[in-house]
Amino acid sequence: MIVSFKKLVFLPLCLALVRGQSIEEDILYETFPENFHWGAATSAYQVEGAWDVDGKGVSIWDTYTHDVGHGHVFQDQNGDIASDSYHKYKEDVQLAKDMGLTNYRFSIAWTRILPQGIGEKNQAGIDYYNNLIDELLANGIKPTVTLYHWDLPQALEDLGGWLSPEIADWFEEYARVCYQEFGDRVKFWITLNEPQVSAINGYEQGINAPGILDPGISPYIAGHHQIRAHARAYRLYYDEFADQKGQVGITLNIHHAQHLTESPEDVEAVERWNDFFMGWFAHPILVNGNYPQVMIDRIALRSSEQGFLQSRLPQFTSEEMEMIANTADFIGINYYTTEIIFNQIYNASDVSYNADIGVGTTKDPTWYTTGSKWFRVEPTGIRNMMNTIRRKYGDYPIYITENGMSDHLGNLDDLTRIYYYKHYINQLLKAIRWDGVNVRGYYAWCFLDNFEWGAGHSQRFGLHYVDFNDTERPRTPKASSKYLTQLYHQNGFVQNDEDPCLNMEI
């Protein structure tokens, strides 16, 4: 038997499926609700390129990636060209149409329309997004627009960035420009993408732009001001732009948590994980304008024990809490994996986010690995997480705004990615049809191979292969894009669908 290298990579998984091992749970053959969003997602810095053309200003990711020799990014790669979607947006929209997308999620580069973050507008940047939006609508695809996906203007970072209270004013000004310029056609707005990651990776661990290493202090300040900024943008929309008849929400990230043992300590650790991870932002925005009580209490106690004169967690004023509460028309969820959680006692002097939570994490070694060390394949978690969100926050409309799998090879016969999508989406269907969770849409990550932040081009999430060694950045649909095209067209799972793994050529 002769097996090509690409085929060999996926043979063990597919043989496991053929042999009926436990990784192949039962599939629910059913459709999704009518008018379900079927989309794919990108972000500006990761796909646009054109980092310094047509009047665009410098972002913190431009600065961070150009600071070479410090290990910020794999092989000192950057997003200067990325997937070159700035110049190839028409081709990308055609690919989206070919896939049958009803919605396309992209972010606006703040520096492309306000080069200094505030002040004078850049018409060329506004024209680009107008052209992209018009091209999408002309092809029957609705735009889903994220205002902020981590690419803060460097000019604002120089004034304090997310650590400055003034950033809520700056973000409101930016949101006003976007609503004014694009709101007649954009009806689905996401204010912030994954503020938890932005705060932790950017300000706690220093592994993302702006690269600040200040555990246990700066991430809470950055998160605090992101919540204030989100609320200001939400209130602005309904104060001044309600006649546009759109919706405004926020995208949060969360991993499903399983407790390692049945001990009360581990069970409680799971709830604490949820409150510190997603609840950090969800509780103020969806509930009462303030942090989960467990965050308030634990950080205050640990801060006192560490000699701080006040809690390291900032406080909202009563006026701010009133402004922040109930400022989402929907919840966007970026979901990838499951964590196994156990209670862990940290040294009292440890000033850090992880020590404040007081949990440890691990993963089941039998779960399939991906191209990213931080997550493995565990499909049932997405259904469980949807139920957890409903239990904690009520019947808010939920949109899966990112879900996908990475590899290193970028091969076109990406059968493990098909397996991932098939089982995660089917578990999402079970959450809707069996559990009654109010999930209204699904956006695969990522539409294209892109610049994957610190991993550069070494981790590929794309439904379409991008040749980063070719200056033309040609795109080629992968097998996973064709699989999702069929699934999206059917609006679900059909009994006689053929499993691509069972037809693998060997």
Q: What is the mean pLDDT of the chain?
A: 94
Mean pLDDT of the region 283-312: 98
200 HSE (CA, 13 A, CB side): 14
- What is d(CA 403, CA 424) in angstroms, rounded to the nearest whole number? 8
Mean pLDDT of the region 452-457: 98
- Active centre residues (catalytic): 194, 402
Mean pLDDT of the region 2-11: 33
- What is d(CA 286, CA 175) in angstroms, rounded to the nearest whole number? 20
Q: Residue 474: which residues within 8 A CB-CB, separation 6 or more?
A: 466, 467
Q: Is the pLDDT of residue 149 over 80?
A: yes
pLDDT in tens, 217-228: 999 999 999 999
pLDDT in tens, 343-367: 999 999 999 999 999 999 999 999 9
Phi first, then psi, for residue 498 (nearest 5°) are: -90, 135
pLDDT in tens, 70-92: 999 999 999 999 999 999 999 99
Please answer whether residues 399 and 332 qualify as being in contact, where contact means their C-beta atoms are separated by less than 8 angstroms.
Answer: yes
pLDDT in tens, 247-279: 999 999 999 999 999 999 999 999 999 999 999
pLDDT in tens, 370-401: 999 999 999 999 999 999 999 999 999 999 99
Q: How many residues appear in the chain? A: 506
Local structure of residue 33 (DSSP, 8 states)? P
pLDDT in tens, 150-161: 999 999 999 999
- CB neighbours of residue 319 within 10 Å: 9
Mean pLDDT of the region 199-215: 98
Of the pLDDT bands very low, low, confident and very high (cuts 50, 70, 90), residue 7 is: very low
Confidence (pLDDT) at 23: 54
Handedness of CA 302, 307, 310, 314 (dihedral sign): negative
Does residue 343 sit in helix, strand or coil? strand
Q: Going by CATH, does the domain composed of 5-255+327-334+371-503 fall within 3.40.50.970?
A: no
Residue 43's identity, in one-letter code, is S
Please answer whether residues 248 and 192 qualify as being in contact, where contact means their C-beta atoms are separated by less than 8 angstroms.
Answer: no
Residue reference for tokens 């910020």: 72
Copy the structure tokens of residue 241. Answer: 């732009």
Least confident range of 8-17, 166-175, 473-482: 8-17
DSSP code string of 193-238: E-HHHHHIIIIIS--STT----TTTHHHHHHHHHHHHHHHHHHHHH
162, with CB counted inside 10 A (0-12, 13-18, 19+), is buried
Q: Is the pLDDT of residue 137 over 60?
A: yes
